[in-house]
Structure 1
Amino acid sequence: MAYPSKIDSQAIMNAALALLEREGEDALTLRRLGNEVGVTANALYRYFSSRDVLIAAAADAVAQRLYLAIEKGMAELPGDADSEARVRKLLRIYSHFAESNPILYRTFLSAKRAVASTLPHPRYHELLWPKVVSIIEPLTGADDAPAAAVTLWGLLHGIWSLRQADVLGGKKPSEIDDYAFDALILGMQTQAA
């Protein structure tokens, strides 16, 4: 077994996310993670004081991946992209991320807020909110952007949950996305007018 100083927090988190993707959240324990990185579970207490902290840290690492995907996707838009195109791109990035990473996304949603608040900064769960609001604000205005961001997240989480439950009523996921995104953007524009 390696000494804890021979592994770093990023290697530990990469192993945690790989274990999550392979076997799900129930498999993510300090003992299993220790086996993955070649240390005893006790050695991991240096990084995570409990399993709840480990889950919260994994959820925040997923939030970081989502945050970086949003940044990358927004950077791909032409400089003259209008606010509707930016919100539509955000919706597509978020939806694609959730669909491509269902187990990680479920963990992202499951972290206990009280535990997550004990993690060191930056905490990507907290950084996602202002990032999303800043993308929505040009379409809705500053006053409505927070409510629109909550509505956007509610819509995306709801669609993802329905997909996971396989209850889309025979509709293709792209049909549901297109309809929902069009309705959301139209509603944002109507509210802003």
Structure 2
Amino acid sequence: MKRLTTAEKILRAAHTLFDREGVDAVTMRRVAELVGITPMAIYRHFPNREALLKRISDDGFQSVADSWQEHAGRGDIIKRLHATQMLYLDYALAHPHLFDHAFSVRRDDARRFPEDFRARRSPTLNVVADTLAEGMREGVLRKDDPWDVAMTFWAHTHGLIALYRAGRFSYDEEKFRAFYRASIGRLLDGIRA
């Protein structure tokens, strides 16, 4: 088994705190305690708390993108698009603090639509836009701007998750998942060729 570097141990500890208790729990002191180093030692690897939090968010985006990428390029386009959004829901419900920080808190370093996305700076939305573009080229989906449709698609699913997380649904998780799945189906029906 590979031995972790100090930076990897710091990231793992910070991620654990973030995942369990939220962004406020990620203090240099608490991370250092978990790793068994002094708080000042963290600064050799991360210049400040914001850099550490950004890395956690970036790693989260990459994790989602990697799982989506597994579905890219093979099989039915509609099923692939549906699968990406179900994986998105799984991630959001399994890691609610990371989800909230990544998508619901204003951050100066957050990607902006359209320029950052069209420049392919989003590892997650790249997968969706590429799949949409493929579906449009193959005549499965109506011709449109794949980036605009990708943002519309993401806003729809994200909005549902945010509303559920805010207690705006009376459904338990199983019923919400069924509603969410059906809602994605309705959205996909609307963009079919």
Which TM bucket (shorter chain)? 0.7 to 0.9
Alpha-carbon deviations, 1:12-33, whole Å to 9, x = none?
2111111112221111112211
Residue aligning to 2:82:
88
Unmatched tracts of structure 2, length 5 or more: 112-119, 138-142
Q: Distance in 2 between matches of 1:54 and 1:106?
A: 17
Q: Give the number of aligned pairs.
A: 174
Alpha-carbon deviations, 1:76-114, whole Å to 9, x = none?
x9x4x2211111111111111112221221222247243
Q: What is the identity, as a one-letter code, of the residue corresponding to 2:158?
A: H
Bigger drift between 55-64 and 142-151 goes to 142-151
Residue aligning to 2:116:
none
Q: 41, 44, 49: which is aligned to 2:42?
A: 44
Q: Distance in 1 between matches of 2:180 and 2:91?
A: 13
1:102-181 equivalences in 2 (<5 Å): 102-109=96-103, 110=105, 112-114=107-109, 126-141=122-137, 143-170=144-171, 172-181=175-184
Residue aligning to 2:93:
99
Please give the secondary structure, in 2, of the residue aligned with 1:167: coil
Q: Distance in 1 between matches of 2:178 and 2:22?
A: 29
Instruction: Verify: 1:12 aligned to 2:10, yes or no.
Output: yes
Question: What's the CA shift for 1:184?
Answer: 1.4
Q: What is the identity, as a one-letter code, of the residue corresponding to 1:167?
A: R
Q: Distance in 2 between matches of 1:115 and 1:185?
A: 27
TM-score when scaled to structure 2? Answer: 0.78
Alpha-carbon deviations, 1:96-146, whole Å to 9, x = none?
111222122122224724388xxxxxxx97322322211222224585210
Provide runs of 4+ in structure 1 moved above 3 Å: 140-143
Q: Distance in 2 between matches of 1:173 and 1:140?
A: 30
Please give the secondary structure, in 2, of the residue aligned with 1:39: coil
Instruction: Verify: 1:187 aligned to 2:190, yes or no.
Output: yes
Please give the secondary structure, in 1, of the residue aligned with 2:109: helix
Residue aligning to 2:60:
62
Unmatched tracts of structure 1, length 5 or more: 1-5, 117-123
CA contact (8 A) 2:15 2:56 kept: yes
**Aligned Cα RMSD in Å?**
2.6
Q: 23, 26, 42: which is aligned to 1:25?
A: 23
* Cα pair distance change 1:129/1:54, threshold 3 Å: same
